[in-house]
């Protein structure tokens, strides 16, 4: 996969360079002062620098190895146990005539482990 992407990128870069004709000079064409010929080849530094930086980033990303997260080794925590104190609760008791009565019931302490 990496070789295919880098080959495709190389073909695209060669095609991009070959599309721009060499005669497309937006410069001054010799209109300098004092009889000298000063040709201005239209600001090629910034576009060239940007193209090189983007190409380098793309090629670097394509050709770089895969990134994996570093393994993290954590010792398991000991089981956390606690004792829940006892408490009073009300339990429903069906009474005569369809009425519900409640009776207090003691729930003993319990040990809970996660």
| Paired tokens of 70 | 């570093």
110 SS3 class: strand
- Name the more confident of 51 and 44: 51
Rounded to whole angstroms, the Cα distance separating 90 from 102 reads 6
Identify whether 25 is part of a domain. Answer: yes
Identify whether 101 is part of a domain. Answer: no
Would you place residue 11 in the very low, low, confident or very high pLDDT band (cuts 50, 70, 90)? confident
Burial of 9 (0-12, 13-18, 19+ CB in 10 A): middle
* Position 37 pLDDT exceeds 70: no
Instruction: Identify the pLDDT of residue 18.
Output: 59
| Paired tokens of 96 | 């005569």
Q: What is the DSSP string of 52-106?
A: HHHHHHHHHHHHSPPP-PPP---PPPPP-EEEEPPEEEEEEEE-GGG-EEEEEEE
* DSSP classification of residue 19: H
Residue 25 belongs to what domain range?
Answer: 2-63
Identify whether 80 is part of a domain. Answer: no
**Per-residue model confidence as pLDDT tens digits over 79-97:** 789 899 999 999 999 888 8
Number of domains in the chain: 1
């Amino acid at each position: 996969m990496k070789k295919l992407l880098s080959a495709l990128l190389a073909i695209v870069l060669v095609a991009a360079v070959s599309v721009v004709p060499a005669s497309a000079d937006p410069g001054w064409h010799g209109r300098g002062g004092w009889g000298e010929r000063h040709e201005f080849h239209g600001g090629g530094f910034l576009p060239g620098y940007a193209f090189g930086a983007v190409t380098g980033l793309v090629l670097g990303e394509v050709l770089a190895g895969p990134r994996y997260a570093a393994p993290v080794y954590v010792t398991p925590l000991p089981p956390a146990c606690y004792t829940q104190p006892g408490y009073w609760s009300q339990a429903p008791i069906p009474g005569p005539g369809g009425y519900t009565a409640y009776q207090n019931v003691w729930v003993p302490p319990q040990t809970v482990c996660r």
